[in-house]
Structure 1
Amino acid sequence: MRRVSIPYDRTVLEAEIDERNFLGCFESALPAAAADQAAAVREALDRPVGSPLLEELAAGRRSAVIIASDHTRPVPSRILMPQLLERLRRGSPGIDVTILIATGFHRGTTRRELVEKFGEKIAADEKIVVHDSSDESMLTSLGTLPSGGELVINRLAAETELLLAEGFIEPHFFAGFSGGRKSVLPGIAARRTVLANHCSEFIQSPYARTGNLENNPIHRDMLFAAETAKLAFIANVIIGRDRKIVRAFAGDPVAAHAEGCGCLRRFAGVAVPQADIVLTGNGGYPLDQNVYQAVKGMTAGEAACREGGVIIIAASCSDGHGGESFYRNLAEAASPEELLARVAAVPRGRTEPDQWEFQILARILSKRKVIVVTRDCDHRMLERMHLSAASTLPEALGMAYALLGPEAKVAAIPDGVSVIVNPSRCL
């Protein structure tokens, strides 16, 4: 028997799988965190990819905007931001710097969260503006995206003399990777621009998948937005499960991001044999607090599980479904297939909030059964969303074997949000 552990909330759930069923356990191979976090960033800034030094870019500039991730992203800003500020002022001592919080579609970051993110000194001494995607007074139009949607971003970013961004790179389930150009779109874009970019047509694209940028229509719009906004420099990091920096990349927004994505792909890529049953998780707390977030881990199961198979995901979902629109659209649908057909008919300009999330879950459910393993969430609610539920991994495995037979092959992907399944598909 092989024992498998899956992160769940702040602990793990375990199960034993017979050797005759077990295909293997597949995890990312991220190296240990850098011994000196600040030095890793400093070295990246000293040797920028495809770009002059940041202090050289700043020379003669009167203003700069640094786009910073918001409270929902574990970017180590306490390490990144002081170095960016110091180099800007080294290059142009009198430069007027604004830190613009890239909230995207999220709520505004609070004062307390700014202190937690940057530390008391930066939160108190620096000019910080929190982006609001619905506040038209903050926004300005820069034209039209390749998709046809209007490109509207924060006016501060559009009008500054030097635009740069901090961020981190991780696998993303429809943009391919986070980081780089995502600081602009969706980070500091208008609500209507984000919705146009996340349209059903693009989410449906086979290229809008984890680890893939080539021919990805969502990435194409994002890249265009960053270039049009004149994003000039990025400082991005890869972080481990302990949220410490593993690698740092700085320089040209396209070249530095590409180097970071290539590095992460080497570490996070896992070749998983096609399985009848995939056992996975969403990384535990805080990523497994609701069904909405757990969809990300399910996409790793989708990539590894055959059609007609079963995805078992361990996720606490202690906060429930994670979004009323997300829940309602699934619960009110006669079937996942019916919901998919309805979403497919929604034009680019009529995308509704959370549409992409229930579209992806419906896509998964239309081809595979999903069993959510949770002790902290109402099983009846999950069933109304066309999901199945179990309280333990052995119980879920028993349900899957009952459906597929005792010889069904099982692959384990303990942390579905940290891997890129089958890297040969990632162009």
Structure 2
Amino acid sequence: MAEFEVPFGDGTVSVDLPECEVTVAEPSGGEAVDVRAAAEEALREPNGPELAELIDADDTVAIVVTDITRATPDDTLVDVLLSELQRVGVYREQVTIIVGLGLHRPMTDDELDEMLGEHADLAVNHDPEDTVKVGEIDGTPIELNRRVAMADRVLSTGMVEPHQYAGFSGGGKTVAIGAGGEPLIRYTHGPDMLSKGGVRLGRIEDNPFREAIDETGDLCGLDFCLNVTHGPAGILDVAAGLPRLVVRDLAESAQGALSVDIDGEYDAVVAGVGAPKDANLYQATRAATYVILGANNPLGDGGRVVIPAELPEGAGEGTGEKRFYKWLSGADSADALYEEMRSGYEPGAQRAFVVARALRNHDVYVTNSEAPDVVEECLMHARGSVEDAVDPGSDVLVVPDALNTLLR
């Protein structure tokens, strides 16, 4: 099959490589669930105590939700949580929704309306400058959003999906990173942590990054989370309760639905991303690092990753994205950048470090984008189409949903 489609923005882009041998890596994908029904069931049978056992009627509640970079159905999850809270006597006036931005850009009012619907009026963007210290890990101060720290109870939503460092995202990460301060991001995303054994895509057991995030979630007072996992079919599973147990439960579901066994070595991998991750280069490069630095790199010597991505935001507009761009655009080579960054960098710049690590061995081409100049400035190659980025006669592996496929 030389003709195929891969995600691009909110749609797809068609590709035709008639002179290439093309293999498509598509995981089983699982079966989509009805999110509301599954979330309500998860609250009835949580991993640990029921929400009603944890909350009193006069409690104030902070719900930390994911931001626009995660395709989490927060409108439904928040609505289900608020209904359950009301059932135990906690009304919406007692609830604040904090958007866990980390160092990403604030969400606009229109984006909040689209994400949270009728509950957008309860939402505020996390401000990493407005935090309080709640503890320490290895001498690193743990800072938490002031509104979250002041709440009697802390809940969160989240997406348990493959993550370059945490193995899988979700659980305590939504609060610890999303509603935290720079010191923890500096500690967890620094070169020492990211170079440790066990810090890898798809692994949660014996993963120092995951362990640090879980411990920090405890320090932040995260009492209960409602998380989902997804795949090509949509939302595959929902779990609620204690964060560690929720992540373990949903990671198991994701592993079964998203893993693909790969044999042989390829000249090129066409890695699909799509919205919301292809809004900027910072997020879209996850496709390349997931392929190159995953459990099984399918590329042979000289192989390349090709990523169709819209990039309407260029490199990205948040603090982390700007730092990513600064490091990559100011570098002469991937090797030199990697060696320089091994001595340290600012929070948010870790994606430049990981991209440099991947680029030492393989080229990355970004096609069809609105920001080709930004791509070229960042040690990568811009092309008008996938066809322009793949040499005739190449052996090509297509990973339509690269951020939700585990190659093994």
Calculate the TM-score normalised by the size of structure 2: 0.88
Q: Which residue of 1 aligns with 2:328?
A: 330
Q: What is the number of equivalent residue pairs in this alignment? A: 398
Unaligned ranges ≥5, structure 2? none
Per-residue CA distance 1:225-251 (angstroms, 9 max, x = gap): 111223121111123558x53321111
- Alpha-carbon distance in 1 for matches of 2:348, 2:108: 23
Q: Which residue of 2 aligns with 1:417?
A: 403
* Residues 161-216 of structure 1: CA deviation (Å, up to 9, x unaligned): 32211122221222221211111221111123222221122233353322122333
Deviation, structure 1 residue 254: 0.9
Aligned to 1:26: 25
In the alignment, which residue of structure 1 is the partner of 2:137? 145
Q: What amino acid does structure 2 have at the position aligned with 1:52?
A: P
Deviation of 1:308 after TM superposition, in Å, equals 3.4
The residue correspondences of 1:14-413 to structure 2 (distance < 5 A) are: 14-16=15-17, 21-22=21-22, 24-34=23-33, 36-49=34-47, 51-59=48-56, 62-93=59-90, 96-120=94-118, 122-124=119-121, 126=122, 128-135=123-130, 139-146=131-138, 148-240=139-231, 245-302=235-292, 303-322=297-316, 323-346=321-344, 351-374=345-368, 376-378=370-372, 381-398=374-391, 406=393, 409-413=395-399
**Matching residue's letter, 2:40:** R
Judged with a 3 Å threshold, the aligned counterparts in structure 2 of structure 1 residues 180 and 339 are, in CA distance, closer, same or farther, namely same
Distance 1:17 1:265, change over 3 A: farther
Q: 1:317 to 1:85 in 2, by over 3 A?
A: closer
Partner of 1:249, secondary structure, is strand
Task: Check conservation: 1:314, 1:393, Cα contact below 8 A.
Answer: yes
1:317 alignment partner AA = L
Equivalents in 2 of 1:334, 1:8: separation in Å?
A: 30
The yes-or-no answer on 1:7 pairing with 2:7 is yes
Deviations 1:76-119 (A, max 9, x none): 22211122122223224579333222222123334433332222
Note if contact 1:282-1:294 (Cα within 8 Å) is conserved in structure 2: no
Which residue of structure 2 aligns with residue 425 of structure 1? none
Counterpart secondary structure, 1:119: helix
Q: Secondary structure at the match of 1:75?
A: coil
Please list the CA deviations of residues 313-359 of structure 1 after superposition, one character each: whole Å capped at 9, or x if unmatched.
2223344333443233223222111100000012xxxx314311111
Q: CA deviation at 1:375?
A: 5.5
Change (3 A) 1:282 1:173: farther
* Equivalent residues of 1:277, 1:312 under 8 A apart: no
Aligned-pair distance for 1:417? 1.2
**Following the alignment from structure 1 to structure 2, what is the Cα–Cα distance between the partners of residues 87 and 287?**
31
**Matched letter for residue 114 of structure 1:** L
In structure 1, C-alpha distance between the alignment counterparts of 2:151 and 2:276, rounded to whole Å: 35
Residue 367 of structure 1: SS of its match in structure 2?
coil
Residues 274 and 210 of structure 1: is their aligned pair in 2 closer, same or farther, counting only changes over 3 Å? farther
Q: State the SS of the aligned residue for 2:202.
A: coil
Q: Shift of residue 154 of structure 1? A: 2.0
Identical-pair percentage: 28
Tell me how far 1:307 sits from its aligned partner. 4.5
In structure 1, stretches of 5+ residues that fail to align are 423-427
Name the larger-Rg structure.
1
Q: Which amino acid aligns with 2:383?
A: A
Separation in 2, partners of 1:219, 1:97:
28
* Alpha-carbon offset, residue 419 of structure 1: 1.0
**TM-score, normalized by length of structure 1?**
0.84
Closer/same/farther in 2, CA of residues 25 and 291 from structure 1, 3 Å limit: same
**Aligned-residue offset at 1:45:** 0.9
| Contact 2:188-2:194 within 8 A present in 1 as well | no
SS of the residue 1:293 aligns to: helix
Is 2:168–2:247's contact at 8 Å kept on the other side of the alignment? no
Deviation at 1:17, TM superposition (A): 5.4
Q: How far is the alpha carbon of 1:268 from its aligned partner?
A: 0.9
Aligned partner of 1:292: which letter? Y
Partners of 2:43 and 2:278 in 1: how far apart?
A: 34
- Residue 399 of structure 2 aligns with an amino acid whose one-letter code is I
Query: Counterparts of 2:125 and 2:323 in 1: how far apart (Å)?
Result: 25
> What secondary structure, in the 3-state scheme, does the structure 2 residue paired with 1:417 have?
helix
Opposite residue 259 of structure 1, the aligned amino acid is: D
Moved more, 67-76 or 91-100: 91-100
What CA distance in whole angstroms lies between the structure 1 residues aligned with 2:311 and 2:14? 14
Determine if contact 1:13/1:314 at 8 Å carries over to the other structure: no
CA RMSD of aligned residues (A): 2.6
Do 1:141 and 1:151's aligned partners in 2 also have CA atoms closer than 8 Å?
Answer: yes
Answer yes or no: is the 8 Å Cα contact 1:56–1:91 preserved in 2.
no
> What is the CA–CA distance in structure 1 between the aligned matches of 2:264 and 2:304, rounded to whole Å?
12
Contact kept? 1:239, 1:246, Cα under 8 Å: yes
CA distance in 1: counterparts of 2:146 and 2:311, whole angstroms: 38
One-letter amino acid of the counterpart of residue 368, structure 2: T
Q: CA deviation at 1:297?
A: 0.7
Residue aligned with 2:143, SS: strand
Amino acid in the other structure paired with 1:371? Y
1:111–1:202 distance in 2 versus 1, CA, 3 Å = same
